[in-house]
Amino acid sequence: MSKDNISTTKELNELFEDFKEYLDTKYDLVRLSASELLIKFLFPLFSSLIVLFLAVILLLFLSFSAAHYIGGLLCSVTLGFAIVGLGHLILIILFLLFRKRLVMKPLAKFILKLFFKQN
């Protein structure tokens, strides 16, 4: 082999090694970016779930308290629980009617902001 062929072979090998290193670096960058996005998405999700869980427990205790209080005023605990249950039913119906405005739009904005944020 001539000296030019050996030099070209070395250059091609170096180029190939550089290309492999570039691909490895690009792969690591994609993994890190995906991990960052996942963390940015999951942290608010889990935080929201914890707050939601605590809010449900709080609502449960407040509902029992309100039902017993209303039941004492009306001299019928059963009627107190029925009134609180009716109040919950009204809240559920209102939530279902306005769920797009209350949940879907803010969630869509959050996800779009998360994925398309300019650095």
pLDDT (0 to 100) of residue 13: 85
How much is the pTM? 0.61
**Cα 107 to Cα 86: distance, rounded to the nearest angstrom:** 29
**Cα 42 to Cα 118: distance, rounded to the nearest angstrom:** 20
3-state secondary structure (DSSP) of residue 98: coil
Q: Kind and range of the H or E element at 40? A: helix 3-74
Query: The tokens 């914890």 sit on which residue?
Result: 50
pLDDT (0 to 100) of residue 2: 64
pLDDT (0 to 100) of residue 118: 55
**Terminus-to-terminus CA distance in the chain, angstroms?**
51
pLDDT by residue, tens only, the chain of 119 residues: 566 677 778 888 888 898 899 999 999 899 988 888 788 888 888 888 999 999 999 999 999 999 999 999 999 999 999 999 999 999 999 999 998 888 888 888 877 777 777 55
